Structure 1
Amino acid sequence: MSDAPIILGYDPKTLRERIDVTAAEARLAEIKPFRSLTALNEQVALLRMLGRLDEAFDIAQAAYRQSRFTGAREDAIAARIRRAQVQQFQGKYDVALTELNGCVDEAVTHDWHELAGFALQHRGKVHFELGEITEALADFETALEERQHDGVPPNQLESTKYAIRVARERLGAEAPAETPEEASSGAGRGVSPLDA
Structure 2
Amino acid sequence: WCNVTALIPKEWHDEIGGFDESMKTWEDVDYHWRMARAGKCYIRIDQELMVYRFYSGVRREEGLSDWQSVVEYLEKKYERIEVVGCPCRGGRARVIKKPPPVGRITEERPGALYDDEEYVMIEYLHPNRGNHPVVGHVTKTKYGNRGGGSKFLVNIKDVEAQPHLFKQLESGVTAPKQPISSTESPVAL
Common fold, TM-score beyond 0.5? no
Name the structure with the higher helix share: 1
| TM-score relative to the length of structure 1 | 0.26
State the structure with more CA Rg.
2
Q: Which has the higher contact order (CA 8 A, sep 6+)?
A: 1
Return the structure number with greater strand share.
Answer: 2
